[in-house]
Structure 1
């Protein structure tokens, strides 16, 4: 079967599909969307049956679409579930008051490395998580910027309108339009009240726009150069933050449980160090690494007192190890991080500050910018786990289930371990929001689909 959420409909499996699994399409549609629209736009099949949305008063059962109407069928996410998982997801969608399951008020969340904290008691919607983002595509008309930013914003909006008209046949994911939207959303994201990097990145980008404005011989040339700058930033962001799941050999992660993260490791030992530092557990879900668990009676004893589960846990990188040095330096320079320790990171990405332990499927989502860790203001090493607009409707139903907030403390070190760098994580989070807001992720996925097609 195919399940489409927002309103919820069920359509039959396509001919030849196995009954052992089903494809799930989760997208949201406006509250006026008909079942016929859903069956044709999201699934392509004629049959659709409603699953009890209208029988529940709107104020008690907000559909995904009613809360976040900017979702469209083009943003649908397709993945494979067993029929048992389909039934569980269907029950969740019928019972949920909105996108994502609300945490029980006061429920404790066990942190990797020890300690607990109170989880959020309120529901987090994608639009609430994103701050300045009100749409995944179109640039806002009147954002909150200073006088310099407003002057540049008028020009950026002119360029967006120009490319919407001139390249309308190419659709919403054509290069010039995506480029100008990347530039626009990047300027919004760098506005100092929205990020922890201070005034410098915002001023640096404003100077880039001003230089283009002065040197352009015509409006057309100016628009093209602005878009080209946005596309360069798009390419740099994907170069250093997106990967198709970096491979790590089994031998690299077979760490002897009980090993402690006491001193900064040599480059060749950083994978072992990372897993030991993180308590042989996934930082986001808390599940234990099964390889380590099978090798250690001490770890098995810890495991028996928890209800965390176990799985394959692997090392993920904040800055991709396949990134070019040129792209890494360009982004670090934009954020004012091209000196000191961060200059060293650009030439050596195999360091504990650039790594975190994640369960294998969550690692893939992280590597593809489908969720990120957002630093919590005034709470050191504490992060909100924020999903992308595409993943948000089902994020809290993933197995293993991600937490909404985590605190990193490390384990087994009196001197204090080298934790994932909060500045790099903040930079990754900001860039992830930008490429999702601008439509660059959908464009990137489309390009990869063409490359991967037989």
Structure 2
């Protein structure tokens, strides 16, 4: 399994973009190098901003044949091409990269860092989708207790984890502004209709939730692991983590149960996977508060 630790951006030769991507990525690399050499207090923020854009562009290009397709890559490329104004000095173009990268960094964390539990438990067999341990509420059910014992499964508190965060629904004064900003960011992935539905007050839709035991819910909210689809196998995923020894066992596949109610969205999980990889490699995850 690959390690997703903080690192410099890969070279042009390592990524092998097409012509349009090469020109944009070269500017991002230049901005990264300028930020790295900067000795002012803004150095770290600018460095992360450049790396967020660079790693996001690389990730979308690398995974362009997956379920998200080429559209997110092309949309990001279109946005970054606006920083290539040849009439501007390098410093001005780099500042545009930093400003755009900082906006993306903010949204990468705010969209994902975060009670419909009953429906999710029914869908997922009253247990954590990863560990197979049953929720503690099963103690009151003789039938589920017999089933758990027959499976020799554990018993731990299960929680409803949201693929897209609940933070836009908390009723604060910035709720509408935040939701609009989040939707604008996520339009990059062309999930607009589904995301607008979520941020219209429907984050508890079944396609946006997973049943996870309590400690895995915490780790999921911190973006320390994510799900990547298994090609040509419906509703099955492998688990990837931000560092190799996160799991003590081999990667278990996520195989959800019955298709009613709706299973976790393949597209939403793919978007979250891309963002998780980027925040760890760019260093943005270290700024989570």
Q: TM-score, normalised by structure 1?
A: 0.58
| Corresponding position of 2:187 | 333
Matched pairs, number? 276
Q: Distance in 2 between matches of 1:139 and 1:344?
A: 35
Other-structure match for 2:55: 185
Is 1:287 aligned to 2:133, yes or no? Answer: yes
> CA 1:422 to 1:177, structure 2 compared with 1: closer, same or farther past 3 Å?
same
TM superposition shift of 1:170: 4.6
Establish whether residue 405 from structure 1 lines up as the match of residue 257 from structure 2: no
Q: Distance in 1 between the 2:264 and 2:246 partners? A: 26
Counterpart contact for 1:374–1:383, Cα < 8 Å:
yes
Matched, 1:214 2:68: no
Work out the CA distance in 2 between the residues paired with 1:319 and 1:280.
22
Deviations 1:111-143 (A, max 9, x none): xxxxxxxxxxxxxx334xx6xxxx632001121
Q: Where does structure 2 lack aligned partners over 5 or more consecutive residues?
A: 169-177
The alpha-carbon distance between structure 1 residues 216 and 421, as it changes in their structure 2 partners (threshold 3 A), is: farther
Deviations 1:340-371 (A, max 9, x none): x3431232212111111100011100011011
Change (3 A) 1:232 1:281: same
In structure 1, how many angstroms separate the alpha carbons of the residues matched to 2:223 and 2:28? Answer: 26
For residues 105 and 181 of structure 2, the distance between their equivalents in structure 1, rounded to whole angstroms, comes to 10
- Please report how far the alpha carbon of residue 385 of structure 1 lies from its aligned counterpart in structure 2 after TM superposition: 1.0
Cα RMSD of the aligned pairs, angstroms, is 2.1
Match of 1:305 in 2: 150
The 5 A counterparts of 1:287-436 are 287-291=133-137, 293-323=138-168, 324-339=178-193, 341-347=194-200, 348-389=202-243, 392-396=244-248, 403-410=251-258, 416-436=260-280
Partner of 1:257: none
Residues 384 and 405 of structure 1 are in contact (CA less than 8 Å); yes or no, is this contact kept in structure 2? yes
Matching residue of 1:144: 16
Q: Show the 5 A alignment for 1:123-162.
A: 125-127=1-3, 136-141=6-11, 142=13, 143-162=15-34
Contact 2:208 2:264 in 1 (8 A): yes
Q: Where does the alignment leave 5 or more consecutive residues of structure 1 unmatched?
A: 1-124, 249-269, 449-454
Please report how far the alpha carbon of residue 217 of structure 1 lies from its aligned counterpart in structure 2 after TM superposition: 2.7
- Counterpart CA distance in 1 for 2:196 and 2:86 is 31
Paired with 2:109 and 2:186, the residues of 1 have a C-alpha distance of 14
> Residue 271 of structure 1: CA displacement?
2.4
* Structure 1 residue runs of 4 or more that deviate by more than 6 Å after TM superposition: none
The residue number in structure 2 matching 1:26 is: none
* Greater strand proportion: 1
- Maintained 8 Å contact 1:240/1:327: no
Q: For the Cα contact (< 8 Å) 2:56–2:278, is it kept in 1?
A: yes
Deviation for aligned residue 1:230: 1.1
Say yes or no: does 1:238 pair with 2:238: no
Aligned 8 A contact 1:376 1:382 in 2: yes
For the pair shown, the structure with the greater C-alpha radius of gyration is: 1
Higher relative contact order (CA 8 A, sep 6+): 2
Distance 2:119 2:87 in 1: 51
Give the one of 59, 73, 91 matched to 1:202. 73
Map 1:64-75 → 2, pairs under 5 A: none
Name the SS for the 2:127 alignment partner. coil
Deviations 1:198-223 (A, max 9, x none): 12111111111111222873210110
More helix per residue: 1 or 2? 2
Query: How far off its partner does 1:316 sit?
Result: 0.5
